[in-house]
Amino acid sequence: MQAILFSAEVWKVKIISLSIGFRKAFSRDEEKAIVRNALKYVMDTNPGVIVFAAASNEGNRDGMLFPASEDMVFCVNSSNGDGNASEFHPPHQERHENFSILGEGVGSTCLQVNNTGTGGRPIASWAIRRGTLVATPIAASVAAIILYFGRQYAPDDHENLETRCGIKRVL
C-alpha cells in the first residue's frame, strides 16, 4: 500500500505496474481492503493514474487474481510470441477487459547468489521468464510509449489520452 501511495503522491507517476496477485482462497479480506483502499484513493485523487495488474498464472484452476479483478485497473493476460493466449492465463472475463501482451519467452535479468568468486554477493544474469507477472510491466511500458507519443504529437489534446478511458480506447 505504501508503495502505491508513494508512487502517486511523491513521484507523481502516471502509470503503476503491479506484478502481484492475491488468490481469493488464500488472502485475507483485510489485506485486500488495504490495497483496494490505496488504489481507490489514488484513483479518486488523481484520475490520470493508470494501473496495470497481473491476471493469474493458474489457467482454469483459479480465476483472475486481486487486484487485477478490480474494475479500476487494467487486467493483463499473457500471450506467446505469435499473439496466442498463454495456456496459463485465466479464462476470459465477460465483465472485465481482457488485455493480452507478450508474456512468454521474455529475457530478463535476475539476481543470483553465486559463492564462487563473488564472496557471496549477488550477481546479475539472464533468464527466460513467463507469466502474467512478466506481461504486466510490458503492458505498462506500451502505455508509457502511447502517453509519450500523445504528448509529442497531440500536445493540445494529450490530457484526454492520459486517463484510464483514453488508454483503454487505444488498447
pTM, entire model: 0.87
Q: What is the pLDDT of residues 43-53, one digit of tens each?
A: 999 888 999 99
The enclosing domain of 145 has a CATH number of: 3.40.50.200
77, 90 contact by CB (below 8 A): yes
Residue length of the chain: 171
| Higher-confidence position of 170 and 63 | 170
Residue 40's SS3 state is: helix
State residue 143's pLDDT score: 95
Share of the chain above pLDDT 90, in %: 42
- Distance from C-alpha of 97 to C-alpha of 87, rounded to nearest angstrom: 18
- Distance from C-alpha of 110 to C-alpha of 97, rounded to nearest angstrom: 31
Question: Residue 140: which domain range?
Answer: 2-170
* Count of the separate structural domains present in the chain: 1
